[in-house]
Each structure stands twice: as C-alpha cells, then as structure tokens.
Structure 1
Amino acid sequence: MTQKITYRTLVLLGTVATAALVLAGCTGGADAAAPSTTVAPTASVDPSASTPDATSAVAVPTEEAAAVVEDYLTAIQAEQYGEAYALLTDESRALAGSEAQFAESAVYSIVRSEEAAGYLGTGGTIEAGPGPAEGTVLVTAVSDRIADGWLVRDTGAGMRIDDAGVPSTGASPYEWVNPASGPEDVRDSVAVDPAAPAALIFRDLAAEAGVEGPGLVGFPSTITAYLGTVEVPASSAMSDLQARWDIAWEASAPSAETQPLTVAWEVEPGSWRTTTTAVYTG
C-alpha cells in the first residue's frame, strides 16, 4: 500500500458545472448547494506520482491537479459556472458548447452544488494519482456515500479538466451494473456485490442509430480502471453494439468504507472522459 502525503489548501469561491451535448441520443446527468468561502478538505496525493523515479522523466503534478479540481468544485458550489467553464480543456469546451450552454445545462451536470459542498467540506476527501496517459492526473472525491472523479491534464496553458458533461437526452450510452448505480444521470447510491466483479456496460448508440462522426462519449475499445487512485485490471466482453467491462477486486476488496471506482477512456485522440461510482458493501 502506498503511503499518502496530505496537504490542505485554502480555496476562494470559484466556478463551474458540467454540460451536455448529444451523441446519437444519449443521457442526462446532475448534482448541487453552497457557502461563501471554504477551506478545502484534506487532499492526499501519492508521492510516487509527484516524485519522478528512475524510470519516469516527467513528474506528474498531482498537487496542482487536485487544486484545480478544488477550484472547479468551489465554482460549482457557488454556481459561478463561467469560472468553472474556464477550467475545462479546449476539447471539453468544444463538446460542451458555449459558456452560456454550459451554464444553462448546469442543472444536469455531473456534479451538483450540494455534492461539491460535501467534497469540499470537513467530511470530504480528495485524492490524486497518475492518470492513464503521460501528463494526466486522476483526482477523486468522496463524501458520505457519493464519489466522483476527474481527469486533469497539462494542456500547455496549465492544468485543465476533461469534463464535457453527460448527454442530456435519450438512452444512456453507459451505465454501472455492479454496483447497480445505473446511468450517470441517475446517480443512485447502491451497495456493491463483492462476490462479483464491478461492471460497467457501454452501448454504441451512434452505430445503433446509424449515425457517423465524433460523439460525446464514444464506444471505447480500451479503458483504464481505478479503485481510489490505484489502477485495477479490467476485461471486456464485446458485441457490435454493446461492451461489458468487468473490473476485478484483486487489488483491494470492497468494504463498508466508501471508495471511488473510476473508469477513464479516450473519446478521441487527446480527449478523455471518466465515469465514477461509489463502491461500498451493505
């Protein structure tokens, strides 16, 4: 088990939320609340992520990435969506639409303001570790029985968040089946079945509808899974229109404590997205 380093950051009210476009018919998402000035929760980072070893020439800026997410959550908590929008990558902004569209769709965003307040509060935990590609960082947050995760990457203009939002109409392109928390817009909090692997199903809605071109979610042939910030193995069973990804509990069995389970994938070259569910036993 990797020893963690903790730090505390004072965060001023910021801005943000998550937007929605559509694939060939997709889903909706949501989450929300707010104080005035908050002290961010203890955020812990894996020292192996921020200190390069003999085989790694590039340090992963985990503390900076965690601070960006804290700013993002603070902005959402304060409903300052313009500031939040500014923290997204260019690719995510292109998918999310204009700043006005982003703000209008905030009610359907992945993070609700009350959830942001929980993550940033004294009962919240924010952690960061290496992401699936060089220069990327996975940042996770937990509060009570809810969890979320974000992929943060160095864009050359600073660390930015890949968070394009959840499609707001039609069938869901992906949903968790163990735990049975469902599509991202439903966000049920359900205990996991520890006797079975965690599982996530993707549907190729574009192919199903006969639509070509880039989509907001995609139909990934490769994913990277994390329990907390530790990468865990995942295997797939794929058909033409559906893929089920099973995630083994080899690294750490689920317990009564809430842990974030995150899957990250590349929608198109250089553009990533994630889905996170809370994992705990009943």
Structure 2
Amino acid sequence: MTLLGAISLIGSMALVGCSASPSTPSSTADPAGSATPASTPAPAETTAETPEIALARDYLDAIAAGDSQTSWPLLSPESQAFYGSVDTYEQLAATGGTVTAVEATELASAQLVAAEGPEGAITVVSGATADAADAWIVRQTDSGLRIDDAGVPPTGESVYSWINPAAGPEDQTGEAAYDPASPVAISFAVADPADGRSLVGSPETIYAWQGDQPVDATLDAASDAQRTFVVNTTPETGPHAVTVVWQVSVDSHEWRSSTVLLTS
C-alpha cells in the first residue's frame, strides 16, 4: 500500500504504502582441450523470476491496466472474502490503501525482490522507486499461489498507524515527515474481543524487512489501547523501503503488510 510524495524533515523524507529475483550466474566451463582464450567474455548472466515475483508482477500489470477481472483471481480467498465481490474490490481500489493504478504503473517497471517470511509460510515481494514503494504477501492456497492484499476497512477508524514516518493511517494519502533521529515505528490498536474478529488484526508480533533483508521489529510500548513497535533499520543512502507484516489471527492463514519509503 503506498503513498506518493514526501516532504523534507532534517534532510529526510518518507512515503508510506500498504512498500527482483536474485541473478543466477551462468556456469560456463571450457570443454576439455578447448583453445578458447581465457580472456573470452563469458555469456551474459540470465535472471529468472521466481513464481512469487512473477505473480506479483502480473498483479501489478493488471492493476496498472485497470483490469480488475484479471487481478481479482490473483487474490487469496481471504482477501476476496474481505471485499465480498469483484465490484466492491474495484470500487475501493483507489481509496482502500492498496496499490493504485498510477503506483502500479511505476512499480511494475521496478526491480522486485523476494524474501522468505516466518517459517516459510509466506513470501514477501517488494519493490521501490524514488517515489513509491509497496510489498505483496504471496503464499500457497488450495488454488495455488495467491496474494494477500486486502485493503483497509472502508468504515471505522484505522487500527494501525505509522508514527515515524508520520504517515498516519494506511488509507490516508499525502506528505509524510520522517525523523531519522528516531526509530521507524508503527502503532496498532488493541482489539476488544467483545467487538468480534478483527479484519486487520491486533498483532503481538510483527516481522520487518528493509528491502529484502530481515530487520528486527520489537514491541516498544503497550497499553490496554495500543501496541507500538519499532523497526531497527540500518543506515542506507537513497530511497529504501521498509515493510512490516503480521498475521491477522492465529486461526487464519491471512497476512497483512504495510510499507514505507524512506529517503535520506
């Protein structure tokens, strides 16, 4: 889920969003008795996208084209259940906190990277440009690989909000100030069991990546009302994405993610 645009604060900026496969060098050996000089250039390396990255790219291409009929079947059953119908999915596409057609167009041309999630249950595919970042959770379902990409509930207050960068709730757009002197942080409302099952979740544990590298995400403060997690990022020049993911509930296969783009 993404936001475009940023403002500077202490020389740094951030964008928020609801955030390439490794190259495989060719193995080339001279046949026995070959007279090929040692200086002969090796064949160009080839890069094969993983199935997870290929699925995410297909998803981006469909959204960029405004083709909901193609992107809808790529969603997990749980994400489809969140929307209820392809018509609702299409109506909420621009305001629900998921990647928009404009953002998908930009990210479709970006290098996508994949990282294995906790215990191999999911794969986190992410991409970033100078202006946008996002991530998509890919996992196996009974129908094959699918993407968890449910949006923010259209009614009620958002149950999670970025503290640093100060991007606020996931479904808001606009400029987001980032303070590099403070850790990246996100806060979740603590769900009241009396309200029933949360559509978004109220995690006690989250996982984080900087690009495709895992970084620590720790519980910093907790109360009866909210839990705040800090993400221990490492210094990096240029725009870089930070993604957090969490499981919606212990009795659900569904996962959610949120991504911020930090610029320093």
Q: TM-score band (shorter)?
A: 0.7 to 0.9
2:248 alignment partner in structure 1: 267
Q: How far off is 1:107 after superposition?
A: 2.2
Gaps of 5+ in 1: 1-17, 19-28, 32-42, 48-60
Partner of 2:230: 246
What residue number does 1:102 align with? 89
- Note the residue ranges of structure 2 that are not aligned, 5 or more in a row: 5-19, 25-47
Q: How big is the shift at 1:189?
A: 4.7
Alignment of 1:46-125 (within 5 A): 63-109=50-96, 110-121=98-109, 124-125=110-111
Q: Is the 8 A contact 2:62 2:68 kept in 1?
A: yes
Letter in 2 for 1:94: A
Q: Distance in 2 between matches of 1:222 and 1:46?
A: 32
Identical aligned pairs, as a percentage? 36
- Structure 1 contact 194–254 (Cα < 8 Å) conserved: no
Kindly provide the CA deviation profile for residues 46-97 of structure 1, in whole angstroms up to 9, marking residues without a partner as x: 88xxxxxxxxxxxxx9711111111111111111112111001111111221
Q: Secondary structure at the match of 2:155?
A: coil
Deviation at 1:148, TM superposition (A): 0.5
Cα distance in 1 for residues equivalent to 2:56 and 2:163: 27
Query: Residue 107 of structure 1 aligns to a residue in which SS?
Result: coil
TM-score (structure 1 length as normaliser): 0.72
Q: Say how many residue pairs are matched.
A: 222
Q: CA RMSD in A?
A: 2.3
Q: Does 1:149 align with 2:135?
A: yes
Q: What residue is the counterpart of 2:204 in the other structure?
A: 221
TM-score norm. by structure 2 comes to: 0.77
d(CA) in 2 for partners of 1:235 and 1:196?
14
Which whole-Å CA distance do the structure 2 matches of 1:271 and 1:235 have between them?
21
Larger Rg belongs to: 2
Matches within 5 A, 1:196-235: 196-204=182-190, 206-207=191-192, 211-235=194-218
* Corresponding residue for residue 51 of structure 1: none
1:203–1:46 distance in 2 versus 1, CA, 3 Å: farther
Residue of structure 2 equivalent to 1:158: 144
SS at match of 1:44: coil
Q: Are residues 1:171 and 2:157 paired?
A: yes
